[in-house]
Amino acid sequence: MRWDDWEIIKGDGALGTCVLGADLKSVNEEVAVTYIKELLFEHRMLVFRDQTLTPLAHEQFSMQFGPLRKPPGRQCVASTNFLQQVIKREEDEYNFGGSWHADGSFQPHPPMATILQAIDLPKAGGDTLFADCVLAYERLSEDTQSKIADLMGIHRAHGITDPAKYSPGAAHKSPGVGTAVSHPVVGCHPHSKKKYLYVNPAFTRQIIGFSDAESDALIDELSMHIIKPETVYRHQWRAGDVVMWDNKTTQHCAVNDYGGTRREMHRSVVYEDLDVMETP
């Protein structure tokens, strides 16, 4: 089916827009890529059902949106240069992405999008939660919107030295590792121009100019606001699902509720060309 015949299904709630009829392995024209980008920037997250992407096809599909980068120290899927394997084995306790976060917010230029494909799913559980940070911003009171308008947050990667002990709370309170970077608390999407909240409990460490106590309180308040049920979509994975999210205007959390079972996903991370970086 051609891109202009795809069916776009969207409910009234946050996120979860489904694109039906697309076969991502045959997306190779610029016009189709541009259309997917427009859909992504408008809906913030897209669910493509019934896909049959080989690892190479997943990588090639992703590369059409911008340069790919692989997080250092992670193994690539065989025959690919950038496709990351996200696996939780039967014996593992820690799951990758198990606390609320925006990918790479600790980087000076975080990725534009992430494209995740289900490879091996548990029989039950293993959903991913997605929060709509544009809707979260719009649902703030005007007072809060003006209070946070010019604030900057410091982000830093968390250092998981003992994954089994890792918990979202512990990550938030830990000093973190790596270089600190700062981003506006209220971002402005470079393409849709929509404002979004950009604070997450995994990587946002401090609000510049606030005391530790004030800063913790505001990060907690905004983080809790972002993950209210009205702003969250819960994706129950099916075999063949590929989910693509705008990494500025959404946050996500992989639910770790399938102990003793294996789960495997393939993941590509797309960056923007440096000349079109965000200008909040």
Ligand X SMILES: O=C(O)CCC(=O)C(=O)O
Question: Which positions lie near ligand X, rule CB under 6 A?
Answer: 86, 96-97, 103, 114, 116, 128, 252, 254, 265, 267
Quick one: what does residue 226 bind among ligand X, Fe ion, none, with the CB cut-off 5 to 8 Å set by partner type? none
176 vs 195, beta carbon nearer ligand X: 176
Tell me, what amino acid is at 119? I
Query: Considering the complex, what minimum distance in angstroms separates the CB of residue 62 from ligand X?
Result: 13
97 binds Fe ion (CB under 5 A): yes
Quick one: what does residue 39 bind among ligand X, Fe ion, none, with the CB cut-off 5 to 8 Å set by partner type? none
Contact partners, residue 148, CB within 8 Å, separation at least 6: 140, 185, 186, 218, 222
Query: Considering the complex, what minimum distance in angstroms separates the CB of residue 29 from ligand X?
Result: 27
The Cα–Cα gap between 134 and 132 comes to: 6
Quick one: what does residue 157 bind among Fe ion, ligand X, none, with the CB cut-off 5 to 8 Å set by partner type? none
The Cα–Cα gap between 154 and 205 comes to: 6
82 vs 96, beta carbon nearer ligand X: 96
Query: Considering the complex, what minimum distance in angstroms separates the CB of residue 243 from Fe ion?
Result: 11
Tokens matching residue 243? 């989910």
97 vs 153, beta carbon nearer Fe ion: 97
Contact 23, 213 (CB under 8 A): no
Q: Which of 235, 232, 13 is nearest to 117 (CA)?
A: 235
DSSP class of residue 220?
Answer: H
135 vs 243, beta carbon nearer ligand X: 243
The Cα–Cα gap between 45 and 263 comes to: 22
Q: Which of 96, 18, 44 is nearest to 226 (CA)?
A: 44
Choose which of 46, 48, 58, 103 interacts with Fe ion (CB under 5 A).
103
Quick one: what does residue 265 bind among ligand X, Fe ion, none, with the CB cut-off 5 to 8 Å set by partner type? ligand X
41 vs 245, beta carbon nearer Fe ion: 245
Contact partners, residue 62, CB within 8 Å, separation at least 6: 68, 82, 115, 268, 270
Query: Considering the complex, what minimum distance in angstroms separates the CB of residue 108 from ligand X?
Result: 18
Binding positions for Fe ion, rule: CB under 5 A: 97, 103
